[in-house]
Structure 1
């Protein structure tokens, strides 16, 4: 069982954005190497090719931005941790190239400010916070209803910064290239705030939101590596390893699908018993694993299990179960951080040993309770027919890697890097800009109209991102 935090910690301080063109240029030089070898320098695990569609639209937007005609926000899909690197490649390599080809004059740097999760520096280290600040990053506490300093900084940059700003409206990765998680309303709200700030300053720029989708494909289908990964997961779970047999009756895809369902059913059953026995959750017992050949019955059981896991954490922190899984995860993350990174203690080093011991106890307990939420976080996008509708190696791999993450959180002292399955390529698709300025006028009637305008814009952005995904 991971025990990542054993003592109370000082508050997570805001990391000011401090854009440094020199640091950005160095990162750009290193980018191809980072993309290839970010996870394991000695393994074929990285991204070797990135292509983009409709990039001319983005080049034209940068030209208008630099001419003072528009302000825009880039709303990009966030399926994997490599997404920001791919976005950097898009802006630093592809957009300038397309602009030259289309005779679109642009000034350097072609870049954007961006929001990032403050929690990334907790597990990656302080160096990441420094790097992000130097290349235009603004940290945000995801679970806070009102992270004032982050919001004020992002709002100021959107309206007055020398660069556009980029945000992942899903709020976090979901591990699925072909599924867009429910969007958080922050991007739409930022759009309306920008219009409001421009109106107050008597400025005429048009405000736009630009949807961008990112998808990943393996250069070669990694069936043998997938077989190895499934065998490892089966062994780590305690299941007998089932080797692939080339049969005339069952196709390769069918065999892999059966193995994944068998593994998933076994793990769900084990976790159901875990929560039933040790956390006294009311979870009915189900059939044996031999009959589990389809995920039609597994998904309802998985969702029930995720709900129970969140309830265990919510009961500890004194929460009611409100909202979808993502909303509940965000609230729990913020509650856990408030118990660990104590803003109510002026200086933890001056506490008497008794009070320091109690604070450490609270931090340890909060960290363990947050583990329930972390397990749920990995599976919020899993659906009934994701693999069945397209049994590709990518979808098999995405599901197997989510299971790997779950087992790693439980069995290892720290969360290891994901195993390599092969070289990948990224497909980036730029969507048509969504106007915000015109919508702002109709949102000014009253508070209800303002809330409805944010909801409608969020829905339209969700639809736009979903249409950009190639199935």
Structure 2
């Protein structure tokens, strides 16, 4: 991203059943093997719970009785592949077992982040488009084209709609990030559009949870990865003793904690010295344990990193960390993909050179935001409160991502710690239609209805995570 580009164009969905069929054929191979750099590890088995509910929903959808949206948890980049497997393999199988005849293909339209085509390439936009997807600019206050498209597809699309309400992956399979209100708004818009068209379908939102488990706890791989991170940090490299392999949690946790403290020390010093950020010290307090102190220091560090980028782009500190990240991303994209330059090749060499300067500086400032984005869901106590291999792996891989960014590795390839299985749990549908009366009373009541629906969906996903 060291040069300016032409402005980003919207990629309309152009569903093509032949491309979807190709995706279905390739899916098992993609899941089992790592294909290129953006897939993390092999998945050997996908299981699903309460699929009967989803089968009946598709039956009602095809009969014109309901419209529904699937709101799925988004901890990993493989989640969309797992959703595709659910609809292409598991739902048809369960439907046959129940004696329910469904029209094929079983599929859904979906929303993806416009940034995915930036790091993966234009081919991904073509592929997603032909599979019924359309992009959204996460940081835009109002991406009118995407919102209008999503609204129309929810009410009139050939398939249901699938959305990740967290907005991005958080790397944590047992921690749900705060949900964005867009899913609830789509639901009420759909209800409104159906009423205006004198249609009687009920509008539903279906929570879906995706969790990953290692087939065998990869303690030795985690030990090796920690050793690599210790080496990159300049710390003494430690190793698991054979006698510790039966219960490695305590030894590995101490190493992970010390690594985290060292990284905090280094990054705090970096931002204080080179960006003149005032990062407050945490006063001694016997009521705070070491994990709570680490969490407070981390939040102060993330705030300082965001301030560096916000100061450059002239943005005020507003909202949550996720809100701030989204605004910064959009500001950076506006500098790299200027809205007023439809064709970058049509401007003069002088203008192109100046635009490249702006783009290069913007990309550098966005690195601070990317650092923060990786740690949005990190609490400081996630591993301590439940020291499973999965939580150790998640946190260690997040630190690996941080180290790769700092080292300047482009498209870092995460180490594969082991084969995994996936469990998909279908939650009970939440009726939007039943809440329409409250939503439609006034603008104030509409905002409250959106908030309540978002909160209920958050609780539903959090409950599914615990199963």
TM-score range with shorter-chain normalisation?
over 0.9
Does the alignment pair 1:411 with 2:407? yes
Shift of 1:29: 1.0
Does the alignment pair 1:163 with 2:162? no
The equivalent of 1:425 in structure 2 is 421
Shift of 1:350: 2.8
In 1, Cα distance between equivalents of 2:209 and 2:415: 25
Does the alignment pair 1:435 with 2:431? yes
Shift of 1:26: 1.1
Asked if structure 2 preserves the Cα contact closer than 8 Å seen for 1:44 and 1:423, the reply is no
Asked if structure 1 preserves the Cα contact closer than 8 Å seen for 2:224 and 2:239, the reply is no
Asked if structure 1 preserves the Cα contact closer than 8 Å seen for 2:70 and 2:205, the reply is yes
In 1, Cα distance between equivalents of 2:373 and 2:15: 32
Shift of 1:470: 2.8
The equivalent of 2:80 in structure 1 is 84
1:288-314 Cα shifts (integer Å, max 9, x gaps): xxxxx9433211101110010001101
The equivalent of 2:234 in structure 1 is 238
Query: Structure 1-normalised TM-score?
Result: 0.95
Query: Structure 2-normalised TM-score?
Result: 0.96
Which shifted more, 349-358 or 208-217? 349-358
In 2, Cα distance between equivalents of 1:63 and 1:331: 40
Long gaps (5+) in structure 2: 284-288
Hey, which bits of structure 1, 4+ residues long, moved more than 6 A? Answer: none
The equivalent of 1:56 in structure 2 is 52
1:225-259 Cα shifts (integer Å, max 9, x gaps): 111100001111111101123568x9410111101
Which shifted more, 269-278 or 147-156? 147-156
Secondary structure at the aligned position of 1:295 is classed as: helix
The equivalent of 1:290 in structure 2 is none
Secondary structure at the aligned position of 2:9 is classed as: coil
Q: How does 1:332-411 map to 2 (within 5 A)?
A: 332-411=328-407
Aligned residue among 218, 223, 242 for 1:227: 223
Secondary structure at the aligned position of 2:425 is classed as: strand
The equivalent of 1:262 in structure 2 is 258
In 1, Cα distance between equivalents of 2:419 and 2:68: 33
The equivalent of 1:101 in structure 2 is 97
Aligned residue among 276, 280, 285 for 1:280: 276
In 2, Cα distance between equivalents of 1:201 and 1:165: 19
Paired residues, what number? 461
Asked if structure 1 preserves the Cα contact closer than 8 Å seen for 2:335 and 2:358, the reply is yes
Asked if structure 1 preserves the Cα contact closer than 8 Å seen for 2:40 and 2:413, the reply is no
The equivalent of 1:452 in structure 2 is 448
RMSD across aligned positions (CA): 1.8
Secondary structure at the aligned position of 1:178 is classed as: coil
Aligned residue among 117, 128, 131 for 1:132: 128
Flag the 1:447–1:94 CA change in 2: closer, same or farther, 3 A.
same
Shift of 1:383: 1.3
Which shifted more, 428-437 or 385-394? 385-394
In 1, Cα distance between equivalents of 2:333 and 2:376: 21
